[in-house]
Amino acid sequence: LTVIAERKTVLPLIPPYIAGFVAFLGFVVWNGGIVLGDKSNHVPVIHIPQVYYGVAFATAFGWPVLFTGRHGIFRLFKNIYLRSFWTKWYTLRTIFIMSFILFTTWKYTIHHPFLLSDNRHYTFYIWKRLYMFHPAVPYLLAPVYYFCGYAWYVRLGQDNSLLNVCLFCGLTMVALIPTPLLEPRYFIVPYLILRILIPTTKKALMMEAVWYALINWGTMAVFLYKERWGVDGVIRFMW
């Protein structure tokens, strides 16, 4: 109804988006698919756990913003607890969501051959030393996925309408679920949009800047001083 009432303002803004969408469809037709490069190893699949990896990625990088919301970290934890277990309905809903996470982890986890084919990437060590440490580990991480996802949902809701939150979550799922490989590059655009949607304080920005600097410092240190050897000689660590 708001769109209809504000049509004179909204309609002139639509053509650029339509042009971009049409150009994208033209590229897909011309390229024979959405994948650039090796299409055989990047075939679209149903990879629901990619969403769980995405919220974990967002939490690992964005915790300074997540935990410095309007009411602070303790209010955030309390809010999640109350929304999860305060009533019988909330408890049943939480059990259903957790069961869904466990089932989709069992049914749709993909051990992509690229994950363990190159030890120059973070994902190699995450997969080998965490997810493959024990068969139960992917399932033990289900509460972590639940908390991270719910925390971002609450945090987004502090500064955005329910429609905006649902649109972001839905479109992020559409973007991530078809991707077969656990790879940070798939999470970057959704994460940047997530950050744009959340206004932050100077304190949070400073914490975020320091955290990113530490990550970059660690990555560069490994790149420069922790050589690896391959068939062609020295190889360097990269994302």
Please say if the pLDDT value at position 2 is more than 80. no
What span, in angstroms and rounded, lies between the C-alpha atoms of 116 and 150?
Answer: 31
Q: What global pTM score does this model have?
A: 0.85
**Scanning the structure block, which residue is given the tokens 């945090």?**
155
Instruction: Give 188's pLDDT tier (boundaries 50, 70, 90).
Output: very high
Please say if the pLDDT value at position 101 is more than 80. yes
Instruction: Give 8's pLDDT tier (boundaries 50, 70, 90).
Output: confident
In the predicted model, what is the mean pLDDT of residues 48-57?
A: 95
Give the distance, in angstroms, between the CA of residue 157 and the centroid of all CA atoms in the same chain.
Answer: 17
The token duo for 51 is 């969403």
Burial class (CB in 10 A: 0-12, 13-18, 19+), 173: middle
What span, in angstroms and rounded, lies between the C-alpha atoms of 62 and 54?
Answer: 12
The pLDDT value recorded for residue 22 is 92
Q: What is the mean pLDDT of the chain?
A: 87
